[in-house]
Amino acid sequence: MEGIPERLAAKPSWLITQLATHARRLSAAGHEDARAGAYHYRILAALREFGAQSQADLGRRGNLDRSDVVAALNELAASGCIERTPDPADRRRNLVRLTDAGVDQLHRMDRSLDRVQDELLGPLSADERATLTGLLTRLLAHHRTS
Amino acid sequence: MEGIPERLAAKPSWLITQLATHARRLSAAGHEDARAGAYHYRILAALREFGAQSQADLGRRGNLDRSDVVAALNELAASGCIERTPDPADRRRNLVRLTDAGVDQLHRMDRSLDRVQDELLGPLSADERATLTGLLTRLLAHHRTS
DNA sequence: TCGTAATCGTTGGTGTAGCCAACGATACAG
DNA sequence: CTGTATCGTTGGCTACACCAACGATTACGA
């Protein structure tokens, strides 16, 4: 079987979306023991690095829709990873706080995600990995601000 | 608002999946006048470059599940872009053929997708674009064969 | 040659990711 | 005080990537 149509193989948008599918597959496999998905990781990461904050802030920092934050927080609360308390300073908001169990969960996911990066970048040298992440970071910053 | 958590921003898997989301958004915007999606383009591209072939072949070349090929072909047939005829040499198969209208549709989508690549790669120089596509191509080939 | 395996198109699901609209409650600016 | 904005929440949607199973057909091996 001859390979993939040139029209596809030559398009960066094809390369990126196809590689993203592989990245998702690898991440899902890495997370299967943690029983958590990408949304949960983004939230735990934002909580760890920026401290207790509102659900809206979590959504902005992790690039999540407010409604998706709600669902993910429900699951994280059910497994004891976070706690929701009304913000006394602004009664519209919930203050979301990371529990010790949440920190443990984050570290577990960190370790499996580190392994995932290695599988994902497979054949690339350290220099090439740095070049790639540099280019991707610039592109992402461009699309985030424009 | 401080930016994105370091844990995320530093991970190639995050960069790739996020950039893929932007790529999908741009592509969808480009395709909105064509009333077709990525699946349709992959099929049209495979038909154009490899000629009339079975639905299973289309799926393998465009990296699509057989069942998704069925649905996309139903829509492409409804808009007159392809024709399905039973393969006389193997009565399990359908021979899918590209019509003139299908060629036109493919060219329309080609043009908008070319514009999409430019928006997607935005700030990168020609050299950087070549470097990026080279790295992505190597990674994709690695994950396709392994 | 006969029976088993493999392939094909099709139907009908599943799960994830990224959205959007609308609601009541609350905060804030004029 | 009145409008505007934000917050959490509910309920929905689309696209994309899959999987299992079925009847029909073909290929292959004993």
pLDDT at position B31 is 85
CA distance B38 to B26: 12
Give the pLDDT of residue A61. 97
Which nucleotides along chain C are within 7 A of a protein C-beta? 7-13, 16-22, 24-28
The pLDDT of residue B90 is 97
Q: Residue A31's pLDDT is what?
A: 86
Q: What is the pLDDT of residue B1?
A: 64
Question: Whole-angstrom Cα distance, residue A144 to residue B109?
Answer: 25
The confidence band for B20, taking pLDDT boundaries of 50, 70 and 90, is: very high
Read off the pLDDT band of B35 (50, 70, 90): confident
**Could you check: is the Cβ of residue B66 within 7 Å of any atom of nucleic acid strand C?**
yes
Residues A116 and A33: beta-carbon distance below 8 Å: no
Which of B48, B128, B138 lies closest to A135 in CB terms? B128
Alpha-carbon distance B75 to B11, whole Å? 38
CA distance B139 to B123: 22
Cβ of A38 near strand C (distance < 7 A): yes
Instruction: Please state whether strand C lies within 7 Å of residue B70 at its CB atom.
Output: yes
pLDDT-derived band at A33, boundaries 50, 70, 90: confident
Can you tell me the distance from the alpha carbon of A129 to that of B59, in angstroms, rounded to the nearest whole number?
Answer: 31
Q: Which domains does chain B have, with CATH numbers?
A: 34-116 (1.10.10.10)
Q: Which of residues 22-61 of A touch B (CB under 8 A)?
A: 22-24, 26-27, 38, 42, 45-46, 48-50, 57, 60-61
* pLDDT at residue B2 greater than cutoff 80: no
Beta carbons of A138 and B132 less than 8 Å apart:
no
User: How confident is the model over A6-26, as pLDDT tens digits?
Assistant: 999 999 999 999 999 999 999
A23/B17 touch (CB, cutoff 8 Å), yes or no? yes
List C-alpha distances in Å: B137 to A11, B15, B118, B141.
Answer: 10, 16, 18, 6
Amino acid residing at A109? M
Given CB atoms, is B111 within the 8 Å cutoff of chain A? Answer: no
User: Mean per-residue pLDDT for B60-76?
Assistant: 98
CB of B54 lies under 7 Å from some atom of strand C: yes
Q: For chain B, what percent of residues have pLDDT higher than 90? A: 90
Output phi, psi for A33, to 5 deg. Answer: -75, -30
Q: Is A132 on the interface with B (CB under 8 A)?
A: yes
C-alpha–C-alpha distance, residues A11 and A54, integer Å: 40
